[in-house]
Amino acid sequence: MAVRAGGHNQAAMNGPKEKVLTLDTMNACVKRVEYAVRGPIVLRALELEQELRQGVKKPFTEVIRANIGDAHAMGQKPITFLRQVLALCVHPDLLNSPDFPEDAKRRAESILQACGGHSLGAYSNSSGIQPIREHVAQYIQRRDGGIPADPNNIFLSTGASDAIVTVLKLLVAGEGRGRTGVLIPIPQYPLYSAALAELNAVQVDYYLDEDRAWALDVAELRRALCQARGHCCPRALCIINPGNPTGARPPSPPQNLIRFGERLFLMSDEVYQDNVYAEGSQFHSFKKVLMEMGPPYSTQQELASFHSISKGYMGECGLRGGYVEVVNMDPAVQQQMQKLMSVRLCPPLPGQAVLDMVVSPPEPSDPSFTQFQAEKQAVLANLAAKAKLTEQVFNEVPGIRCNPVQGAMYSFPRIELPPRAIQRAK
């Protein structure tokens, strides 16, 4: 019997079409991703805010967001110079306005000159605008006491998070017991656990010592590494410097961590380098420590260090600007990193522009210098005062204990539940 072409397909389409993409057929790695910073608690907060707007009576009048370091959302004012230059870059007609200082106009003009079509709306090179990468290298060299930095080893990124995930993508390989393991601190910033789950890598936990102000102990690193070797191939060590979310000061002595990690790729998350509050403590980049140790460490130890405009005194989270500097990376792998970044085309140009001002702020002879310094120091002093206040208030509450907040932008209190409450929960 002859069947008309397409008749069977037409009959099939008359029935309900099964979804191609379901929870059973989707990428299993994505289902394993958890990101508590924007997870169920945040969704519940959104529901509560909606109910408050609708007039539903609650024993409170507002929801305070404490889940994420979003400085401007919590009332921090933008630094004037950063926003002036950004405004000029976004709307160059303002360059004729008398309302902007001359150094802001000069900076905006130099940034626009480096952009295609003299516009922030153009793409840049995948690794970022070249003059801005050069300014980042100069900033790192000044910060590290004259140790050289090569612009060719610097990649601008969509915040630090994007650069961290890019480096993890390069590191992750293997299957079964050969899967890549990455050592991360616990408590941790959940970007790391989420990215490792998505990439199907093995999360190797090392625990910070709460009783010693969240100290990082090499013996604990050794325990975690030895235990991990039984079920994966540890290849990288992540260090958050200063500590997030524990509020710990920069790890000391960093030389011991570098010696421990000589067979691992070292990732140093340094986005809080401006936020060090502990008396007598200061930030030292792992790049600086590594170079001062000399050969063989300075010539062989692979390192990627990350910075961002989202924290510090800037708080420009939404503009998504950051960078990664790689040290002693295999040149062939570095080319692959360049390729991987080119898939995303380029980081947002407004974020690149603000990063340029952060790494190359007004000079003492510039009209904007005095106001810039005053605003910067006011923000940092305010954050330090809040860090102290947070610790004090937590420790006044029965059943809550909190270490001194010595750096970064978070505290990590311990809540001790009474035995009767634990029994009731059971």
In the predicted model, is pLDDT for residue 217 greater than 80?
Answer: yes
Look at residue 187 in the predicted model and tell me its pLDDT: 87
In a shared domain, residues 221 and 295: yes
In the predicted model, is pLDDT for residue 384 greater than 60?
Answer: yes
Listed range (23-32, 77-86, 174-183, 341-350) with the worst mean pLDDT: 23-32
In a shared domain, residues 404 and 347: no
Q: What is the pLDDT of residues 6-24, one digit of tens each?
A: 555 555 556 677 877 667 7
Q: Tell me the C-alpha distance between 310 and 37, whole Å.
A: 15
In a shared domain, residues 389 and 350: no
Q: Tell me the C-alpha distance between 411 and 401, whole Å.
A: 11
In the predicted model, is pLDDT for residue 32 greater than 80?
Answer: no
Q: What is the pLDDT of residues 118-149, one digit of tens each?
A: 988 888 888 889 999 999 999 999 999 999 99
In this structure, which long-range contacts are made by residues 365-374, counting pairs with CB atoms below 8 Å and at least 24 apart in sequence? 366/101, 366/103, 367/101, 367/102, 367/103, 368/80, 368/81, 368/84, 368/101, 368/103, 368/104, 371/80, 371/81, 372/79, 372/80, 372/81
Look at residue 37 in the predicted model and tell me its pLDDT: 58
In the predicted model, is pLDDT for residue 201 greater than 80?
Answer: yes
Domain count, the chain: 3
Look at residue 8 in the predicted model and tell me its pLDDT: 54
In the predicted model, is pLDDT for residue 5 greater than 80?
Answer: no
Per-chain mean pLDDT for the chain: 86
Contact 243, 249 (CB under 8 A): yes
In a shared domain, residues 143 and 43: no
In the predicted model, is pLDDT for residue 405 greater than 70?
Answer: yes
Residue 82 forms part of a structural domain: no
DSSP E strand boundaries for 187-321 = 202-207, 233-240, 265-269, 303-308
Q: What is the pLDDT of residues 239-250, one digit of tens each?
A: 888 878 888 876
Residue 104 forms part of a structural domain: no
In a shared domain, residues 310 and 399: no
Which residue, of 324, 359, 394, is where some domain finishes? 359
Q: How many CB atoms lie within 10 A of CB 35?
A: 14
Residue 101 forms part of a structural domain: no
Residue 92 forms part of a structural domain: no
Q: What is the pLDDT of residues 288-332, one digit of tens each?
A: 999 998 999 989 899 999 999 988 888 888 888 999 999 999 998
| Mean pLDDT (whole number) for 344-370 | 92
| Mean pLDDT (whole number) for 333-345 | 85
| Mean pLDDT (whole number) for 256-264 | 82
| Mean pLDDT (whole number) for 396-410 | 88
Which residue, of 316, 343, 359, is where some domain finishes? 359
Residue 407 banded pLDDT, cuts 50, 70, 90: confident
Residue 169 banded pLDDT, cuts 50, 70, 90: confident
| Mean pLDDT (whole number) for 176-199 | 86
Asked if the bond preceding 253 is cis, omega within 30° of 0, the reply is: yes
In a shared domain, residues 279 and 131: yes
| Mean pLDDT (whole number) for 378-382 | 91
In a shared domain, residues 306 and 346: yes
In a shared domain, residues 40 and 154: no
In a shared domain, residues 398 and 339: no
* Residue positions counted in the chain: 426
In a shared domain, residues 54 and 152: no
Report the percent of the chain where pLDDT is more than 90.
39
Listed range (24-38, 276-290, 378-392) with the worst mean pLDDT: 24-38
Look at residue 83 in the predicted model and tell me its pLDDT: 94
Listed range (250-264, 278-292, 399-413) with the worst mean pLDDT: 250-264
In a shared domain, residues 253 and 205: yes
Choose the most confident range, by mean pLDDT, from 87-96, 115-124, 251-260, 336-345.
87-96
Look at residue 342 in the predicted model and tell me its pLDDT: 83
Structural domain boundaries, residue 36? 22-67
| Pairing outcome for strands 233-240 and 180-186 | parallel
Alpha helix (H) ranges present in 202-321?
218-228, 254-260, 286-293, 297-300
Q: Which residue has the higher pLDDT, 71 or 385?
A: 385
In the predicted model, is pLDDT for residue 252 greater than 90?
Answer: no
Contacts with 269 (C-beta within 8 Å, 6 or more apart), sequence order = 160, 164, 189, 238, 239, 240, 241, 244, 306
| Mean pLDDT (whole number) for 232-236 | 90
Look at residue 4 in the predicted model and tell me its pLDDT: 55
Q: What is the pLDDT of residues 76-120, one digit of tens each?
A: 899 999 999 999 999 999 999 999 999 999 999 999 999 888 988
Listed range (78-82, 275-279, 362-366) with the worst mean pLDDT: 275-279
CATH of the domain at 127: 3.40.640.10
In the predicted model, is pLDDT for residue 34 greater than 80?
Answer: no
| Mean pLDDT (whole number) for 368-386 | 92
Look at residue 26 in the predicted model and tell me its pLDDT: 64
Look at residue 12 in the predicted model and tell me its pLDDT: 54
| Mean pLDDT (whole number) for 62-79 | 81
Look at residue 393 in the predicted model and tell me its pLDDT: 93
In a shared domain, residues 206 and 134: yes
